């Protein structure tokens, strides 16, 4: 019995020891997990989500990614790692791996020197273009030992919140009235403003309220400025305006109801005339009006990015499509082969037969034919040295956006192709941000719990003075796709004066860039006007009419607008025409899809004047450069009224019908409700040739029918416009109710719905300026 008790006691002790070890292991593992407790920082806000804090060996890691843990598909996001080293020096590599199909993962890495008892910061700005809502990060030391290897789950946005607005404020300001089903507020702190403006791309707007802007560094200020120029909307209180005077100087603001709006290239700055921190009981009144005004005036570039997010893979497909157009040198020259083979056939055929028969040496045929074949094999092989592709090559498409101050941003999509499936490097001689574009056709909600991150086909390595691209395990002649960017300052410039009076767009543009622009067009408030070539030093007059102005997305598909600009159609055998057509199609379609008030001139530089990061790449390449020049075109017309180039932004009800970007009418009758702002004083509504394809003789689509407005005095609808007959009405009062609502009935000719694509017409208007 005593022996049995000793056995039980021994087993109990062993069990407790094992349990103690397991508990220590659990505690150790728990310390390496992300912290979930919400703490407040020194500025009074909760710490952002998307932060993981843990300790491994003698190093502490704080890894922060995305905006509040959110990442928008097809856009850039930041990964920041702070490493606190309590031990010896370490030379290592920090890596981020974006998952792809199979082993088609994308790897980004940066060399890191972690000195003893010091803190080291590592920052990445990476394009999210994978197949799932996660990524992996690692820290590998100088002995190639993996110290950290973790998978980070992100909130990947594809069908959730549409609009993200960051708030930078010293105190807990009340901005909840800006949130609804489509808008999310993200409370920022100084550390969220990275020096690379691409990291802010997920934000559609930034509100700065009651914040000490002196806390921002010069680089952070420049980052915000670049983000605005690229399409962001900066919302400021009056006191913050003075800090951004350099951005606003020599710009004329447009007075709105609550803001003064300053257009800054593709973005804008909204300076509040009222206190944005309103009381709770004003949320449903003043708050809703402020929100509508902010959303309505979001920068054009940010809205285009939303399109890239939702149609991101389609956007990649179109980019890949244009980079697949072959250059002439990629097709082997076959003339030499034809000549050699023709001689060979003649020799072993009639020539050899006649000669041997004449000399009665036909028995030599069995020796001479193989010898001739061997000789010509060597000739063909030698000829191949001059005709076959033996070196990797690159192709690219560059969009260069040039501001009035000469500052330019070059976004270059490029492909790298190798004739052999061996490992190779491509090196930029400067440090440029380079993103890997997925070859996949769609974002997949796949189960990635067992995803293999060990293999990859493409890697981007950032060094102090260069960016290296490494490729492996790919198929021969299968292009791999990337995007890179850089910022430059151009020596030349341009001047312009363009007015939009709804019924006519007119003005002039002077090219002083130092090189010619070819195949140009103007985009003005959603209307495309082909312009033609503008030589260096030349001034070109611009004037719209029914024959040269096109609006809505359908213009691209049902008219010859791109053919007019590009100088030919997709059926052309001219490679230059095909490239121009597709490059224009991509950019113009993105503008049309978003129905934005984007204003710019678009054209092409000559091949000798083409500039991009590809000039610094170790692999030779060919491509084209598209020049995009943002235009500031005021919303106030010659009569002092404010133009509304499309009433769609005021639609609040469509009676259950969905009006998509193509504007197809689902039935012969569509009822639409427009709600104007309570302080809006509508002076006229027009149905004109602008934006309506039925006026264009070359169009294959358009509205065919009648337009009725509801008259609140007679309590019935009355005919106002008929298709193909331009008209303007100025007596608006009978059609607006007490809430400033306008009810419109669009009635198409039923039989035409079966014959041609009938589209919802575009109505324009003017209202009294604030």
Helix, strand, or coil (residue 256): coil
What is the pLDDT at residue 220? Answer: 93
Is 215 inside any structural domain? Answer: no
Is the domain of 686 the same as that of 564?
Answer: no
Mean local confidence (pLDDT), 739-751: 92
Model pLDDT for residues 424-449, shown as the tens digit of each residue: 899 999 888 999 987 655 455 555 66
Is the domain of 525 the same as that of 566?
Answer: yes
Is the domain of 610 the same as that of 675?
Answer: no
Instruction: Write the CATH number for 83.
Output: 2.60.40.1930
Q: What confidence tier does 33 reach under pLDDT thresholds 50, 70, 90?
A: very low
Mean pLDDT over each residue of the chain, to the nearest integer: 81
Is 49 inside any structural domain? Answer: yes
Is the domain of 151 the same as that of 26?
Answer: no
Is 70 inside any structural domain? Answer: yes
Is the domain of 552 the same as that of 646?
Answer: no
Is the domain of 745 the same as that of 614?
Answer: no
Longest dimension (CA), the chain: 119
Asked if pLDDT for residue 312 goes beyond 50, the answer is no
Relative to beta strand 741-748, strand 669-675 is antiparallel
Is 197 inside any structural domain? Answer: no
Is the domain of 596 the same as that of 692?
Answer: no
Give the rounded distance of the alpha carbon of 485 from its chain centre: 12
Model pLDDT for residues 256-275, shown as the tens digit of each residue: 778 888 888 888 898 888 78
Nearest to 646 by CA among 670, 672, 678, 666: 672
Is 251 inside any structural domain? Answer: no
Domain boundary among 387, 414, 430: 387
Q: What confidence tier does 455 reach under pLDDT thresholds 50, 70, 90?
A: confident
Is the domain of 39 the same as that of 22?
Answer: no
Q: What confidence tier does 495 reach under pLDDT thresholds 50, 70, 90?
A: very high
Mean local confidence (pLDDT), 128-148: 87
Q: How many residues does the chain have?
A: 770
Q: What confidence tier does 484 reach under pLDDT thresholds 50, 70, 90?
A: very high
Helix or strand holding residue 766 (H, E):
strand 764-768
C-alpha–C-alpha distance, residues 80 and 77, integer Å = 10
Helix, strand, or coil (residue 504): coil
Is the domain of 606 the same as that of 735?
Answer: no
Is 22 inside any structural domain? Answer: yes
What is the pLDDT at residue 281? Answer: 67
Q: How many domains does the chain have?
A: 5
Instruction: Write the CATH number for 686.
Output: 2.60.120
Domain boundary among 608, 630, 652: 630
Is the domain of 616 the same as that of 512?
Answer: yes
Model pLDDT for residues 655-686, shown as the tens digit of each residue: 777 777 778 888 889 999 999 988 899 999 99
What is the pLDDT at residue 596? Answer: 55
Is 400 inside any structural domain? Answer: no
Is 128 inside any structural domain? Answer: yes
Model pLDDT for residues 35-85, shown as the tens digit of each residue: 333 344 443 333 445 788 889 888 999 999 988 788 887 788 899 999 999
What is the pLDDT at residue 763? Answer: 93
C-alpha–C-alpha distance, residues 262 and 253, integer Å = 5
Is the domain of 589 the same as that of 459?
Answer: no
Domain residue limits at 457: 35-159+422-473
Is the domain of 584 the same as that of 696?
Answer: no
Q: The pTM is what?
A: 0.80
Domain boundary among 606, 630, 654: 630
Query: Of 561 and 162, which is predicted with more confidence?
Result: 561
């Amino acid at each position: 019995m005593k022996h049995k008790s000793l056995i039980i006691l021994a087993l109990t002790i062993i069990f407790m020891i094992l349990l103690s070890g397991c508990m220590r292991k659990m505690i150790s593992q728990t310390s390496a997990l992300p912290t979930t407790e919400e703490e407040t920082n020194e500025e009074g806000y909760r710490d952002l989500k998307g932060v993981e804090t843990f300790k491994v060996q003698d190093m502490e890691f704080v890894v922060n990614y995305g905006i509040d843990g959110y990442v928008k598909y097809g856009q850039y996001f930041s990964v920041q790692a702070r490493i606190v080293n309590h031990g010896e020096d370490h030379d290592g590599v920090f890596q981020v791996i974006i998952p792809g199909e199979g082993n088609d993962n994308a790897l980004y890495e940066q060399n890191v020197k972690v000195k003893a008892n010091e803190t080291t910061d590592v920052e990445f700005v990476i394009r999210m273009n994978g197949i799932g809502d996660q990524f992996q990060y690692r820290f590998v030391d100088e002995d190639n030992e993996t110290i950290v290897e973790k998978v980070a789950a992100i909130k990947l946005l594809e069908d959730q919140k549409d609009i993200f607005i960051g708030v930078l404020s010293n105190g807990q300001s009340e901005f909840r009235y800006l949130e609804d089903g489509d808008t999310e507020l993200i409370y920022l702190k100084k550390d969220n403003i990275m020096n690379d403006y691409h990291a802010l791309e997920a934000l559609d707007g930034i509100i700065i309220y009651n914040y000490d802007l002196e806390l921002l560094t010069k680089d952070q200020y420049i980052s915000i400025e670049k983000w605005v120029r690229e399409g962001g909307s900066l919302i400021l209180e009056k006191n913050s305006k003075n800090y951004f005077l350099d951005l606003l100087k020599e710009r004329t603001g447009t007075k709105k109801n609550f803001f003064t709006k300053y257009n800054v290239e593709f973005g804008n700055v909204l300076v509040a005339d009222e206190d944005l921190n309103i009381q709770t009981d004003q949320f449903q009144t003043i708050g809703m009006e402020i929100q509508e005004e902010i959303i309505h005036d979001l920068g054009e570039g940010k809205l285009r990015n939303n399109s890239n997010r939702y149609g991101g893979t389609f956007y990649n497909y179109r980019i890949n499509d244009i980079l697949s157009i072959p250059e002439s040198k990629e097709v082997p020259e076959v003339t030499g082969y034809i000549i050699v083979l023709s001689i060979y056939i003649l020799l072993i055929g009639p020539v050899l037969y006649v000669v041997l028969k004449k000399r009665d040496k036909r028995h030599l045929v069995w020796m001479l034919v193989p010898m001739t074949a061997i000789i010509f094999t060597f000739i063909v092989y030698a000829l191949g040295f001059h005709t076959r592709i033996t070196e990797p090559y690159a192709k690219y498409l560059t969009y260069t956006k040039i501001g009035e101050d000469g500052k330019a941003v070059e976004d270059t999509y490029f492909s790298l192709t190798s004739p052999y499936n061996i490992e190779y490097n491509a090196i930029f001689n400067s440090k440029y941000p380079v993103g890997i574009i997925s070859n996949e056709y769609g974002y997949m909600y796949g189960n990635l719990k067992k995803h293999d991150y060990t293999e990859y086909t493409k890697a981007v390595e950032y060094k102090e003075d260069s960016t290296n691209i490494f490729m492996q395990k790919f198929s021969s002649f299968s292009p791999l796709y990337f995007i890179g960017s850089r910022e430059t300052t151009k020596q030349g410039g341009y001047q312009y004066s363009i007015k939009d009076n709804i019924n006519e767009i007119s003005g002039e543009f002077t090219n002083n860039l130092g090189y010619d622009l070819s195949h140009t067009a103007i985009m003005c408030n959603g209307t495309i006007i082909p312009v033609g070539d503008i030589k260096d030093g030349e001034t070109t007059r611009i004037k719209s009419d029914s024959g040269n102005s096109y609006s809505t997305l359908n213009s691209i598909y049902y008219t010859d607008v791109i053919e007019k600009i590009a100088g030919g159609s997709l059926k052309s055998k001219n490679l230059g025409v095909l490239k121009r057509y597709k490059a224009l199609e991509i950019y113009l379609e993105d503008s049309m899809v978003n129905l934005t008030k984007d204003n710019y001139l678009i054209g092409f530089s000559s091949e000798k004047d083409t500039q991009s990061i590809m000039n610094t790449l170790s692999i030779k390449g060919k491509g084209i450069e598209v020049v995009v020049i943002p235009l500031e075109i005021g919303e106030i017309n010659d009569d002092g009224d404010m133009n509304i180039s499309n009433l769609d932004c005021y639609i609040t009800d469509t009676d259950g019908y969905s009006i998509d970007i193509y504007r197809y009418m689902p039935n012969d009758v569509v009822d639409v409700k427009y709600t104007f702002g309570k302080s809006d004083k509508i002076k006229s509504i027009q149905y004109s040739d602008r934006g309506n394809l039925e006026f264009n003789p070359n169009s294959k689509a358009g509205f065919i029918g009648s337009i009725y407005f509801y008259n609140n005095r007679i309590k019935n609808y009355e005919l106002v416009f008929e298709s193909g007959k331009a008209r303007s009405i100025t007596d608006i009062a009978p059609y607006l109710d007490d809430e400033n609502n306008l009810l419109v009935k669009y009635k198409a000719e039923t039989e035409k719905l079966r014959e041609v694509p009938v589209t919802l017409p575009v109505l324009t208007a003017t209202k009294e300026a604030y």
